Amino acid sequence: MYKINETTINLIKGDITKIKNDAIVNAANNTLLGGGGVDGAIHKAGGPEILEQCKKIGGCPTGEARITVAGKLPSKYVIHTVGPIYRGGENREAELLYNAYYSSLKLAKEYNLKTIAFPSISTGAYGYPIYEASDIAIKSVIEFIKKEGHILEVNFVLFNDKDYKVYEEKLNQKFN
């Protein structure tokens, strides 16, 4: 557990579809119509209600976020954000990844949500190196909290031991 002002940042190893927060974040693709990894798991566990709302939204540009109900998931909402496909780091990937986290938090604030859970965006099929991506994720969250406040709890939910250890190392560097 890490604290910034009134906000707690937690690390959780597990399945984001089982997390009960005001919102969980979906690492979506531009269509918002489901895919593999976290995206596929959220759509499968949440049921058709999420897909129906995503169809009405009509997609999402990289670095932005959209919100839907959570269907059968234990959370109230799903915030869908699109991280960049990693192409070597010279194509605005860091900026777009930062914006994906920041846009998700802005949307949570707009909806007056107090708790949010993030996966490690873009580090699966989109190939973003976990060491770089975790730095960007943590930086974006910390900067949002310092500037905007509002969110009481941010959870980074990592599916495997390797990713969990990377985030733990990075957070310990920032807070110790």
Annotated active-site residue 161? The verdict is no
- Report the C-alpha gap between 156 and 4 in whole angstroms: 15
Edge to edge, the sheet with strand 153-158 lists 2-4, 7-13, 153-158, 115-118, 23-28, 77-82, 65-69
What does pTM read for this prediction? Answer: 0.97
126: phi then psi, degrees, rounded to nearest 5 = -85, -5
User: Which pLDDT score is estimated for 149?
Assistant: 86
What is the C-alpha separation between 157 and 176, in angstroms, rounded? 21
> What single-letter DSSP state applies at residue 25?
E
Owner of token pair 């869908």: 80
Name the 3-class secondary structure at 32.
coil
Of 15, 22, 39, 161, the active-site residue reads 39
Nearest to 41 by CA among 67, 87, 69, 73: 73
Confidence at residue 176, expressed as pLDDT on a 0 to 100 scale = 81
Q: Name the fold adopted by 2-175.
A: Leucine Aminopeptidase, subunit E; domain 1 (3.40.220)
| φ/ψ (deg, to 5) at 34 | 95, 165
For residue 18, the 8-state DSSP code is G
Structure tokens at 124: 């699966």
Q: pLDDT tens per residue, the chain (176 residues)? A: 899 999 999 999 999 999 999 999 999 999 999 988 999 999 999 999 999 999 999 999 999 999 999 999 999 999 999 999 999 999 999 999 999 999 999 999 999 999 999 999 999 999 999 999 999 999 999 999 999 989 999 999 999 999 999 999 999 999 88
Dihedral Cα 153, 148, 46, 137, nearest 10 deg: -80
Q: What is the distance between the alpha carbons of residues 66 and 170, in angstroms, rounded to a whole number? A: 28
Strands (E), the chain: 2-4, 7-13, 23-28, 65-69, 77-82, 115-118, 153-158
Q: What is the pLDDT of residue 143?
A: 97
The confidence score (pLDDT) of residue 160 equals 96
Going from N- to C-terminal start, the domains of the chain cover: 2-175
Q: What is the pLDDT of residue 20?
A: 97
